[in-house]
């Protein structure tokens, strides 16, 4: 295999996985560890991946930036967030996943008496000086652009906590279930699910019928889904058949008034 061809394939592999260890590159491509390290250093040098201890993470342009996603469907996200915050009871222990919708939820928890566990740097920065909130920050490899801690360190920390409910967002929902942007992210989110009594998914209706790079979990892994009224009757029935409690907000109808 030619040098440029191998590096192109390695880059595609890292993009698909989100994070790849050197050992995994060695096994997948049948190359030596020194070759894998040189290829990673080259891709790091041209700003396609970020070299980490023992591997590499993708930092290319396939993932929309956090700032761009923050303004997308903002009205829907704000109303979904307010509804979710209103359902959170005083004194609860909640687990907040990273994401633009969950960040909006966090904004509406300011002033409340809660324990918040999160792997999101933006949420930590928002809540760090709130006297009523006991804040637990989950560490780990911080994924570029999103500010979310992922990987084995984050998963190990999550095993040591227990929350009443997880509030999370996703990158896509199809009949096969929930999807997100890379395998390292979904592995961390699966541990979040295991560390929580209930799973609430908050997402605008544009995510339905769209998959993403990595499958996270089946539809019935959710206990409750909160979305806007762009959700079709067909999708609502499918979710309810899977045992999911569906809360649909009239955000679009209100916006048209």
**Once rounded to an integer, what is the mean pLDDT over residues 33-57?**
86
Instruction: List phi, psi (to 5°) of 19.
Output: -140, 140
Q: How many CB atoms lie within 10 A of CB 120?
A: 25
The tokens for 93 are 């222990």
Distance of alpha carbon 92 from alpha carbon 163, whole angstroms: 8
Strand 177-180 to strand 214-217: parallel, antiparallel, or no bridges (unpaired)?
A: antiparallel
Q: Give the closest residue to 110 by CA, choosing from 132, 93, 91, 90.
A: 132
pLDDT band at 212 (very low <50, low <70, confident <90, very high): confident
Helix then strand then coil, % of the chain, to nearest 5: 45, 25, 30
pLDDT digits (tens, 9 = 90+) for 160-207: 999 999 999 998 999 999 998 778 889 999 999 999 999 999 998 988
The pLDDT of residue 40 is: 93
Question: DSSP character for 2?
Answer: -
pLDDT digits (tens, 9 = 90+) for 118-161: 999 999 999 999 999 999 999 998 887 778 999 899 999 999 99
The pLDDT of residue 99 is: 85
Residue 27, CA distances (Å) to 131, 183, 187 in order: 49, 18, 20
Residue that is written with structure tokens 């030619």 in the block: 2
pLDDT digits (tens, 9 = 90+) for 55-113: 888 765 444 444 444 444 567 888 999 999 999 999 999 999 998 889 999 999 999 99
The pLDDT of residue 23 is: 93
């Amino acid at each position: 295999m030619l040098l440029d061809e191998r590096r192109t394939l390695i880059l595609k592999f890292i993009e698909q996985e989100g994070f790849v260890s050197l050992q995994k590159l060695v096994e997948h491509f049948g190359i030596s560890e020194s070759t894998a390290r040189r290829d990673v250093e080259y891709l790091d040098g041209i700003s396609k991946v970020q070299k980490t201890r023992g591997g590499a993470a993708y930092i290319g342009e396939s993932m929309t930036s956090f700032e761009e996603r923050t303004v997308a469907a903002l009205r829907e996200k704000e109303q979904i967030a307010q509804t979710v915050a209103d359902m959170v009871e005083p004194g609860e222990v909640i687990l907040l996943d990273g994401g633009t919708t969950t960040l909006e939820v966090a904004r509406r928890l300011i002033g409340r008496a809660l324990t918040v566990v999160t792997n999101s740097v933006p949420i930590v920065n928002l809540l760090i000086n709130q006297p009523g909130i006991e804040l637990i920050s989950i560490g780990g490899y911080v994924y570029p652009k999103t500010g979310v801690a992922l990987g084995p360190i984050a998963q190990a920390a999550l095993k040591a906590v227990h929350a009443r409910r997880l509030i999370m967002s996703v990158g896509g929902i199809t009949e096969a279930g929930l999807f997100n942007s890379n395998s390292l992210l979904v592995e961390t989110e699966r541990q979040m699910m295991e560390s929580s009594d209930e799973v609430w998914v908050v997402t605008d209706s544009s995510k339905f019928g769209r998959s993403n790079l990595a499958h996270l979990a089946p539809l019935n892994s959710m206990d409750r889904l909160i979305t806007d009224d762009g959700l079709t009757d067909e999708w609502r029935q499918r979710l309810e058949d899977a045992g999911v409690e569906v809360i649909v907000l009239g955000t679009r109808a209100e916006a048209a008034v």
